[in-house]
Structure 1
Amino acid sequence: MMEQLLFDHMEKVRKITLQSISRIPEEAADHIPEGFRNNIRWNFGHIAFIQEKLAYGVLGEETKIPDRFAGFFAPGTSPSDWEGKPPSLEEIEQVLTEQLERIKGTHHGRVEDELPEPFTNSAGITFSTAGETLMFNSFHEGMHLEAVKQIYRQWKLQSQRK
C-alpha cells in the first residue's frame, strides 16, 4: 500500500517534470540569469543524476544513466566548468522518462530495504531505507523545477526586450 502511494507520487512529480522539459525551447536551456549559478539544462540533468544516485548509488548498485551525466550534473558542477557538449534537452528528457519506469520495476517490494550504510545528504538529512531516499527525491525534484521556472521566466523577459 505505502509502496504504491510512493510510486504514484513519484509518477505525478515526474509527469510535471516531463511536461516542463517538453515546453522549454533548446535556445533557453543554457541561459543563466544574474543571481543564478546554473541553467535550465543543468537543473533537469541534475534531477536525473540525483534520482539515479538516490535510487541506486546509495544501495551500492550500478547506475544506468549515461556516465557523462556525472561531469555535467553532479552536485557542485556548474555550466561554467563544463568541458565538451552537454546532453540535449531531448536526451535528458529520454533519461527522465526511462528512469521512473526502471526504478519502479527494480524497487518493487524493496522500498523497506535498509541501505548498506546510512546516507547523509548535503543538507545533513540521513536516510536508512531505499524508500526514504525515493521520498526525498520528490522534494529535490520539485525544488529544481522551481529553479527551472524562475530561470525560464527571466529568459522570456530578456528575450522580449531584444
Structure 2
Amino acid sequence: METEFKITRKSREIFNQYFENYTLEQLNKIPQGHNNNLIWHIGHIIVSQQALVYKGANQQPNVSEELIARYMRGTKPERDATQAEAEEIRSLLFAPLEKTEQDYRSGLFTSYNARKSELGFDLLTIEDAIAFNNYHEAIHLGIMLQLRKLV
C-alpha cells in the first residue's frame, strides 16, 4: 500500500500546481463544448477519494457533505468558485490523504461495501478502493491536461 499512497501524493502534487500556474479566472473557465472546468476536476478528485474510501467503508468522510454534494459524480459547476473556495479546495489536496494513510495503518477500515465501479472495476476491499482512486485521478488529470490548453 505504500506505493499506492506514494502515487496518490504525487498525483496531488501535480493537481496543486494548477493553483500556482493558473489564475482563478482560468481555473473557473468552462471551455466551449465542455461542461466543467479545472477547479471542478480538482474538487471532484478530493470528494471522490473520500467517497470511495470512507463512505465505501461505512466511515465518516473528512470533507464536508456540502463539498461532496458540489463536486460528486454527475455534478457540474453551477457558478464560479470564489477565491476562498479555491483556497479550501487547495487545502484539502493533502490533509485528507494523510488522514487516510493514518486511518489505514491504524486499522480503521475493517470492512468494505463491495461493488463494481462505473467503469466496471470490482472494488472488493479498501485496498481495491485506494488503488482504483489512483486510476480515477489519472483519468481526471488527463482531462485537465486537455482543458488547460483551452483556458
Fold shared per TM-score above 0.5: yes
Instruction: Read off the aligned partner of 1:148 and give its amino acid letter.
Output: M
Q: Are residue 6 (structure 1) and residue 10 (structure 2) matched?
A: no
Q: Is the 8 A contact 1:6 1:135 kept in 2?
A: yes
Matched, 1:121 2:95: no
Report what 1:30 is aligned to. Answer: 28
Aligned length: 150
Alignment check: 8 A CA contact 2:27 2:39 kept: yes
Whichever residue aligns with residue 100 of structure 1, its letter is L
Q: Residue 43 of structure 2 aligns with which residue?
A: 45
User: Residue 57 of structure 2 contacts residue 110 of structure 2 at CA under 8 Å; is this kept in 1?
Assistant: no
Question: Structure 1: 5+ residue runs without aligned partners?
Answer: 156-162
For residue 100 of structure 1, report the CA deviation from its aligned partner: 1.3
Give the whole-Å Cα distance in 2 for the aligned partners of 1:111 and 1:63.
12
Cα distance in 2 between the residues matched to 1:151 and 1:124: 26
Q: Which residue number in structure 1 is paired with residue 95 of structure 2?
A: 98
List structure 1 runs of 4+ shifted beyond 4 angstroms.
Answer: 83-87, 109-114
Name the stretch that deviates more: 53-62 or 7-16: 7-16
Distance 1:83 1:25, change over 3 A: closer
Q: TM-score, normalising length from structure 1?
A: 0.82
Q: Which amino acid is the alignment partner of residue 45 of structure 1? A: G
The alpha-carbon distance between structure 1 residues 126 and 21, as it changes in their structure 2 partners (threshold 3 A), is farther
2:55 is aligned, of 38, 54, 57, to 57
Alignment partner of 1:144 out of 121, 140, 149:
140
Question: In structure 2, how many angstroms separate the alpha carbons of the residues matched to 1:8 and 1:83?
Answer: 33
Residues 41 and 144, structure 2, Cα contact 8 Å, conserved in 1: yes
Per the alignment, residue 160 of structure 1 pairs with none
**Separation (CA, whole Å) in 2 of partners of 1:103 and 1:23:** 28
Distance of aligned partners of 1:111 and 1:72 in 2 relative to their CA distance in 1, 3 Å threshold: same
Unaligned stretches of 5+ in structure 2?
none
Q: Normalized per residue, which structure has more strand?
A: 1
Q: What is the alpha-carbon root mean square deviation over aligned residues?
A: 2.2
Give the whole-Å Cα distance in 2 for the aligned partners of 1:111 and 1:131. 13
The percent of aligned pairs where both chains have the same amino acid is: 24
Q: Does the CA contact (< 8 Å) of 1:52 and 1:63 recur in 2?
A: yes
